[in-house]
Amino acid sequence: MTRNSRDFAPILRDWAEGGRDHVGAILIWTLGHGEFAAIVARDTRLLRERPRPEQWRGVTLSI
């Protein structure tokens, strides 16, 4: 999970295009640093939807 979406989005895109895998990523675009409760709530929901680590392999989600 990162708010550094500007740097990580191109890296994840390059990895996908190159057939490389990763353990999963959540890119936070729309929520500010001061919106901690909203970030935790959204991430908690996403983690409940995918509770097992293998469900995240290669998955990139943006919020």
What's the chain's average pLDDT? 91
Query: Which DSSP symbol is given to 27?
Result: E
% of the chain residues with pLDDT over 90: 65
Domain spans of the chain, in order of start: 5-62
**Length reported for the chain:** 63
3-state secondary structure of 45: helix
Which of 55, 52, 54, 59 has its CA nearest to residue 1?
59
For residue 62, which phi and psi values (nearest 5 degrees)?
Answer: -115, 135
Q: What pLDDT is attached to residue 10?
A: 96
Residue 26: count of CB within 10 angstroms of its CB: 20
The arithmetic mean of pLDDT across residues 15-40, rounded, is 88
Q: Token digits for 62?
A: 């943006």
